[in-house]
Structure 1
């Protein structure tokens, strides 16, 4: 099999790779019939020369490759018909900005396997950048707080050589008695907790967070049972919640009166109620002043109404004026500071890429060669010009009659 690592075309500043040079060498050595080629790129965190030093050839034309690996969405002009692609397509939530991409994939009879849709037998995702999104998101949340308060300037993660350097700045940060709430229990939240623990911010229970006062920085991590409730019910049935989230209401309000910083790390879709409304944010007792929205769904279809746009690694923070519900300059006393970078792992691209490639090799690679792989079947959105059965709900999304 011939495999091509394509250059990133959607966002040139995204320098991540699906496989590092050493990982490519490992695969070529392990599978005798495998050839891997890399499309030349000046932006990657691993240079063309690093790939060549591992015996991986550069090739501009990828037409001979059966399998093409990327990270972000592939621009329509760069697609090759009738190939198999692996990348994050961001289409399964019917994102309007990628509707034409999925249409083109169907028209060109491309087989699209989406990393986000690859799960094990228990339904758990097997490959993701989530941990690194959480790590950088927590770093940026504290960076934003330091700038807002004018007490310290934490070095941006993308200016650090690697994760090891970033950790050297976490000792003795003057954080006073801030209270931070983390939403979710997945990779993002775990990565965020990793950073907060290294900063020696004390982890406490949700109950203690709401009921007690502290003279040191603290954080709590919320599961879905802490954030949502079914009206009239005392007990929380998690399996019912995941099947019928539209029947639930937000139970997040008490945290809006106790937290200074919110780090949002949950998976969200339109059926799930938002944490709070624009009107809630106007209240004088709304104490959250920094929101690090790692999930980064854009309002109005979002869990957080102040995420009115995504921000960039170079300019990660913008202000949100709750009274006007509009963007403003950050770090003003009346505004809420929003960090909503949508490609956070790219601040540590080499670390994140190595981790991602390890997951790809250990969890996915052998499945790609199995004709009856349930994982690959369920992760395949499109094949031979048709939506795969698990994704037939996207028919209205890609219909030419759809006025979206």
Structure 2
């Protein structure tokens, strides 16, 4: 729907093609693209063979089409909006990139990414840090990540997980969850049950006919590890922003009785210093969604897919785009919350000895 109060602006945005083949989502869906265009923003959309929304829908919304990778030649003032990791080149990034950079918690290759921005005079406006004054995220895929993570765990436990994974509509996924509800009723623990991801996980489990144990801050303040281990499935939906004692360690898996046989790590903070599940060192993917951990005693599988919502691409994109679009309308303005994103980026660069004096929103 067009904005009823359009204004003229010189803000230019390119929505880039996602380099990852399994990334089907769009940070801006066609209906919200029309709203941005009506607001006076020039929105260029790169062609993408896997995006869940056809380029024709963006053209109908008033966008400009461009070939994949066209953002590389765009003026430095262009905002480049995406979701997942950037291509390995160029070595110097001149634009202001709005996406999930995963560069502030000591993750693998984080320092190298920040150096690319510092070298080109660009900036990372990380959407994970697009927050209000109280630190609450303003746009997130958490609900659908939790929904999909819990659904995969249940289907795996019931022996109904078809490989490789493929994107589908929520109605089709729910139909499978309901059809298999009579197979088994595993004992499931959702940690972080009151957050976005936890709510999504609980809703998927309800469709599957499962009433989970729900833990949140109060229950994890003093962790009952024996109770944790006495569940078939653990769904980790905790958003951690500071180092936290781990919920599960290799040692805790090796010692003592354990019913736990499967972990769905929705948070997927692998290689981060804030990781509450330091028992694996790499993510899983659509071809091999479950990794069997070795040398931990009884068999234990881990689902650690870092783009879970892309398996429900249309629903996840529509919800996320609705949250993000009002803030894209304020790009280029001096106010919050983009300035908060910029401060976090500058602080991270400073911690790595990098200069960012000339970078602004």
Which residue number in structure 1 is paired with residue 216 of structure 2?
Answer: 223
Secondary structure in structure 1 of the residue aligned to 2:176? coil
Which residue number in structure 2 is paired with residue 328 of structure 1?
Answer: none
CA apart distance, 1:157 = 10
Secondary structure in structure 1 of the residue aligned to 2:248? coil
CA apart distance, 1:78 = 4.8
CA apart distance, 1:164 = 1.9
1:23 paired with 2:35, answer no
Q: TM-score, normalised by structure 1?
A: 0.76
Which whole-Å CA distance do the structure 2 matches of 1:303 and 1:81 have between them?
32
1:58 to 57, 62, 65: 65
Which whole-Å CA distance do the structure 2 matches of 1:375 and 1:55 have between them?
27
Which whole-Å CA distance do the structure 1 matches of 2:329 and 2:354 have between them?
35
Which whole-Å CA distance do the structure 1 matches of 2:84 and 2:339 have between them?
21
1:310 to 266, 269, 283: 283
Which whole-Å CA distance do the structure 2 matches of 1:142 and 1:398 have between them?
45
8 Å CA contact retained: 1:139, 1:195? yes
Q: TM-score, normalised by structure 2?
A: 0.85
1:252 paired with 2:224, answer yes
Which residue number in structure 2 is paired with residue 181 of structure 1?
Answer: 189
Which structure's CA Rg is the greater one?
1
Which residue number in structure 1 is paired with residue 178 of structure 2?
Answer: 171
Secondary structure in structure 2 of the residue aligned to 1:374? coil
1:8 paired with 2:32, answer no
Which whole-Å CA distance do the structure 1 matches of 2:93 and 2:259 have between them?
52
8 Å CA contact retained: 2:291, 2:302? yes
Which whole-Å CA distance do the structure 1 matches of 2:198 and 2:145 have between them?
9
1:192 to 201, 204, 223: 201
CA apart distance, 1:300 = 8.8
For the structure 1 residues 88 and 398, does the alpha-carbon distance in structure 2 shift closer, same or farther, using more than 3 Å as the test? farther
Which residue number in structure 1 is paired with residue 303 of structure 2?
Answer: 339
In structure 2, stretches of 5+ residues that fail to align are 1-10, 356-361
For the structure 1 residues 381 and 112, does the alpha-carbon distance in structure 2 shift closer, same or farther, using more than 3 Å as the test? farther
Which whole-Å CA distance do the structure 2 matches of 1:305 and 1:68 have between them?
33
Cα deviation digits, residues 338-391 of structure 1 (max 9, x gap): 1111111111112111111111113x13432431x1211111257xxxx53xx2
Name segments (4+ residues, structure 1) moved above 4 Å.
78-81, 154-158
Secondary structure in structure 2 of the residue aligned to 1:380? helix
For the structure 1 residues 296 and 40, does the alpha-carbon distance in structure 2 shift closer, same or farther, using more than 3 Å as the test? same
Which whole-Å CA distance do the structure 2 matches of 1:314 and 1:227 have between them?
33
8 Å CA contact retained: 1:183, 1:266? yes
Secondary structure in structure 2 of the residue aligned to 1:272? coil
Which residue number in structure 2 is paired with residue 161 of structure 1?
Answer: 168
Which whole-Å CA distance do the structure 2 matches of 1:340 and 1:13 have between them?
15
Secondary structure in structure 1 of the residue aligned to 2:330? helix
- Count, aligned residues: 337
8 Å CA contact retained: 1:2, 1:34? yes
RMSD: 2.5
Cα deviation digits, residues 281-329 of structure 1 (max 9, x gap): 11351110111111123369532243332100122012113447xxxxx
CA apart distance, 1:73 = 2.4
Counterparts of 1:90-129 in structure 2 under 5 Å? Answer: 90-129=102-141
Counterparts of 1:382-393 in structure 2 under 5 Å? Answer: 388=346, 391-392=347-348
2:82 to 70, 75, 89: 70
